[in-house]
Structure 1
Amino acid sequence: MANKPCVYFLPVYAAGHLIAMIEFAKRLSTFGNSFSIHFLLILPDNPNQGSPLCSSYLQSLEAQNTPFQFHPLPFVEPPTSFDGVEEFLSLRARSYMPHVKAELLASPSPVSALVVDFFANNVIDAANELNIPSYVYYTSPATSLALFSHLSNQERENDPKDFSEVCVPGLVPIPSTCWPDVFWNRKSGSYKSLMNFTRLCTKAKAVVVNSNIYLEKAAVEALSEGTQHVPGQKLPDIYPIGPVLSLRESKSKDHECLKWLDRQPMKSVVFLCFGSRGAFDVSQNREIARALEQSGHRFLWAVRTASKYLLRDLTNANLDEVLPRGFTEKTKERGLVWPSLVPQIEILSHKAIGGFVTHCGWNSSMESLWFGVPVIPWPHGAEQHLNAFHLMKELQVAVAMEIDRKNEGFVSATELERAIKCLMDEGSEDRRRVREKAEKIKLACRKAVEVGGVSYAHMQKLAEELGKQKGHSKSA
């Protein structure tokens, strides 16, 4: 079909965003071939500053013969004046609008839609200028989108010090301890950018959310009904199509971490991993080491070192520098410390894993739920504190841990040891409770994406809509 319409995707070049969007596109493509899929890529100006996970993932797509076309956009100097990631992404996306518009105009076939990452929402205006329907792909939970939508529609910007919680219609009150850090400075460029990203969603034809009604019933219903918006405001459709995860066949079966897990009893190991950007200083790493040593439980701990670049993944750790002397030797019979990337999906799916200490990024949270693994939340930033609140209070699949947000999220060895014992000790009531809840959520998530499931139905409806839409040609 020479004139088969094209759907263009614009991701953010970060592991939790680019991979999630491509996996969404792969799932979407299984519902027929009435349109072709193209990706517009805003690449880092220096390969050393980019995400190694993104690079390796894109290379793996070539081996899979994925039928997508990728179009790297011309380089634009990145912004140098900003006060946080949100403002940086806003300025960066805006600077690429002319190139996005040019690519859409140069499309060899009619363009039926542009799908943008939430943090690239600025380019919706370019699509609208060309009369091309735009869709927003939201890689974070529906709860955070409902919260942002509620705040973006407030008539005035209240000082966050004036109240201790946010009451979003349809949701349980969200305490200030769970707000993203950016909320505490309503005059910052990053807060204003976040609110603008949210308001721009109303210009889109629909918002696609990587969640479902089993994971976030109240938030999905609030977004669908528009209860968090100003009365009378036009709302886009909501497509909750999750969980969308990268569950492809991996080449990591011979990884040393998996070989080690093969030798451990069922559900006996607590796994500690903090995402592609979660790293601690030496002081905190040594607190973690003491907690693991004193807990007596088996553990697998992925230790990384922070990068100096804004959107770059972590680097490998020097264990001699970050761990207490003699720690690995004293715990070698029941623990493994790994200083580089680990195959997280394969580890969470392993029968030996009984718990997960996680930063609560949404992708990691959904991966743990997909495999029925309960968690100890240790959020670092972004919406992770809100995710942790949801896992603990709404889904009840998590054991709470006291985190000192005023001291860069510090957790003492004593507190981490307590939480690990609650999650892993035989006979622990917390262990029994969260494992039962996690197993129920696991089954619900899998049912959602099966043929006839709620997420499957939303994905099918979206694919049909994109396929039936009349493509907009160069003359638009």
Structure 2
Amino acid sequence: MEATKNITHIAVVPSPGFSHLIPILEFSKRLVHLHPDFHVTCIIPSLGSPSTASIDYLNSLPSNNIHSFFLPPISISELPQQQSPAFQSKLAMTKSLPSLREILNSLMCSKTSPPLAALVADTLAYEALDIAKELNISSFLFALWSPALCSFHFQIPKLDETILGEYPDYPEPFVIPGFVPLHGRDFPEFCQHRSSEAYKMVVHRDKRLPSLDGIMLNSFIEMGEETAKVLANNKGSGHPPVYLVGPIISQTGLMNEKDRPECMTWLDKQPPRSVLYVSFGSGGTLSQEQLNELALGLELSGHKFLWVLRAPSSVANASYHSASSSNENPKEFLPKGFLEKTKDQGFIVPSWAPQIQILSHNSVGGFLSHCGWNSTLESVMHGVPLITWPLFAEQKLNAVILNDALKVAVRPKVNKKGIVEREEIKEVVKTLMESEEGKGIFKRITDLKEAAANAMKEDGSSTVTLSQVAHIWKNKGVLQ
């Protein structure tokens, strides 16, 4: 890369984990597509050896504008076990800071590339932004957050100081500016136990948010209009400017007919909007008891389903850090006789399926989802209504957004043991796929799909906002 004042150079730093790498790189691709005079250096910390999927994805990036490399990997044996994946990612990031500082220093002193104008880090790599401050680089957070979750994080330091006891124990809902009242039981997982290391980590980070130069959300105005208005009015609020630049999702397509998975051929044979897609993301697993109930509930519903099945686990986020899962055959854990009884009703895909292609297929009429933010945006962008089944992280709050605020989903009830029973599963599937309520949900998510598409147009709100951020960085690059 030639050193020239016409190029604006930024660095991006994801936290360890495939599900964090993809969004920040998709953001980078969007940035250089809209602003070809930008160059992005992606500096990637890793927990263990990088996955094959990560390497393959990096090799597919536009090589002229985006360069990437891995920091020395952190061994998982160096980290305390029995901690949440988010906390492990943060610790791995902390251990990677000396290597990161060395590389950023070298980039700032390089004679072959322009100095860095900005450093963009994701929410678990926020410590990298301290180095940005040291080097007089603009510090921006890129967050897989809804406007509501961003507003929630701005409130955490105040709640931590004023509320006694555990949040889920409070009988009354909490007020989150611009959002529907939120019960403590629907707070993100890291807020369920205030003595946990994960909670302390989040409070520590959220207290530092006001020092940032900006926060970019992978979201758009219509995903929370009232909250977006509150966030936009940051004068005197103490929080930094918030920029809604999404929805940015992976656009990876199938290479050719030869590579097309069998599940797509099966979908081709199904009637329009007749199939319920069931997937809990790259890090979602169920217990054996819950897996049995889900299987039998799908069977009882009588509706077609395509289920991305993982082997059961007592840990909901068992494969969080990996793009691949256990070598066990998950079909072996299904109820006896289930595959034979549902051979004309459903299709089971072990471990992984091409989600973007599935959601865009016209035979898919619903998505039973764990409510991860990537999956939520993908469902919205393809106009697929949801059954919300949150498992961990901030997924319960995302479910509240989808169910109560946007009303584009239905949510099953759990019993006293925390299990969703088969009859309940049957009823919510029928509600979504065949009832008048389901038709209303489909109409609302169709409208939201249109709003998402409009936000990403050349003159759309998110495109204009990203250009505003790019202009800030260009000015910073000129000043250096």
For residues 237 and 377 of structure 2, what CA distance do their matches in structure 1 show? Answer: 31
Q: Which amino acid aligns with 1:137?
A: F
Structure 2 residue corresponding to 1:280, chosen from 268, 283, 286: 286
Structure 2: unaligned runs, 5 residues or longer? none
Say what the alpha-carbon RMSD is for the aligned residues. 2.2
Do residues 419 (structure 1) and 441 (structure 2) align? no
Do residues 2 (structure 1) and 10 (structure 2) align? no
For residues 135 and 21 of structure 1, what CA distance do their matches in structure 2 show? Answer: 12
- Preserved contact between residue 132 and residue 472 of structure 1 (Cα < 8 Å): no
For residues 403 and 262 of structure 1, what CA distance do their matches in structure 2 show? Answer: 34
For residues 93 and 408 of structure 2, what CA distance do their matches in structure 1 show? Answer: 36
- Preserved contact between residue 32 and residue 65 of structure 2 (Cα < 8 Å): no
Deviant stretches of 4+, over 4 Å: 76-79, 306-310
Q: Which residue of 2 aligns with 1:29?
A: 32
The count of residues paired between Structure 1 and Structure 2 equals: 460
Q: Which residue of 2 aligns with 1:434?
A: 441
Pairwise CA distance, 1:6: 1.8
For residues 33 and 307 of structure 2, what CA distance do their matches in structure 1 show? Answer: 36
Do residues 312 (structure 1) and 322 (structure 2) align? yes
Map 1:45-444 → 2, pairs under 5 A: 45-47=48-50, 50=51, 53-61=53-61, 65=63, 67-77=65-75, 79-81=78-80, 83-107=83-107, 108=110, 109-154=114-159, 155-159=161-165, 160=167, 161-226=169-234, 232=236, 234-251=238-255, 254-305=260-311, 311-313=321-323, 314-315=325-326, 317-404=328-415, 407=417, 409-425=418-434, 428-444=435-451
- Preserved contact between residue 284 and residue 319 of structure 2 (Cα < 8 Å): no
Where 1:315 maps in the other structure, the secondary structure is coil
Relative distance call for 1:196 and 1:444 in structure 2 (3 A) is same
Worse-matched range after superposition: 336-345 or 284-293: 284-293
Pairwise CA distance, 1:76: 4.3
What is the TM-score of this pair, normalised by structure 1? 0.91
Pairwise CA distance, 1:77: 5.0
Where 2:387 maps in the other structure, the secondary structure is strand
> How big is each residue's C-alpha offset from its partner over 1:379-438, in whole Å with a ceiling of 9 and x where there is no partner?
00111011011101111110121135x74x52111111110011112xx11211111111
For residues 340 and 74 of structure 1, what CA distance do their matches in structure 2 show? Answer: 29
For residues 337 and 391 of structure 2, what CA distance do their matches in structure 1 show? Answer: 28
Relative distance call for 1:55 and 1:430 in structure 2 (3 A) is farther
- Preserved contact between residue 402 and residue 411 of structure 1 (Cα < 8 Å): yes
Pairwise CA distance, 1:97: 2.0
Q: Which residue of 2 aligns with 1:450?
A: 457
Pairwise CA distance, 1:320: 4.3
Relative distance call for 1:464 and 1:472 in structure 2 (3 A) is closer
- Preserved contact between residue 101 and residue 127 of structure 1 (Cα < 8 Å): no
Worse-matched range after superposition: 368-377 or 191-200: 191-200
- Preserved contact between residue 178 and residue 228 of structure 2 (Cα < 8 Å): no
Pairwise CA distance, 1:140: 2.4
For residues 146 and 382 of structure 2, what CA distance do their matches in structure 1 show? Answer: 18
Q: Which residue of 1 aligns with 2:20?
A: 17
- Name which structure has the greater RCO, CA cutoff 8 Å, separation 6+: 1
- Preserved contact between residue 47 and residue 75 of structure 2 (Cα < 8 Å): no
Relative distance call for 1:252 and 1:429 in structure 2 (3 A) is farther
The share of aligned pairs that are identical, in percent, is: 31
- Preserved contact between residue 142 and residue 215 of structure 2 (Cα < 8 Å): yes
Pairwise CA distance, 1:297: 0.8
Pairwise CA distance, 1:440: 0.5
For residues 258 and 167 of structure 1, what CA distance do their matches in structure 2 show? Answer: 44
Relative distance call for 1:315 and 1:326 in structure 2 (3 A) is same
Where 2:124 maps in the other structure, the secondary structure is helix
Where 1:99 maps in the other structure, the secondary structure is helix
Structure 1: unaligned runs, 5 residues or longer? none
What is the TM-score of this pair, normalised by structure 2? 0.90
- Preserved contact between residue 119 and residue 137 of structure 2 (Cα < 8 Å): yes
Where 2:222 maps in the other structure, the secondary structure is coil
For residues 319 and 100 of structure 1, what CA distance do their matches in structure 2 show? Answer: 39
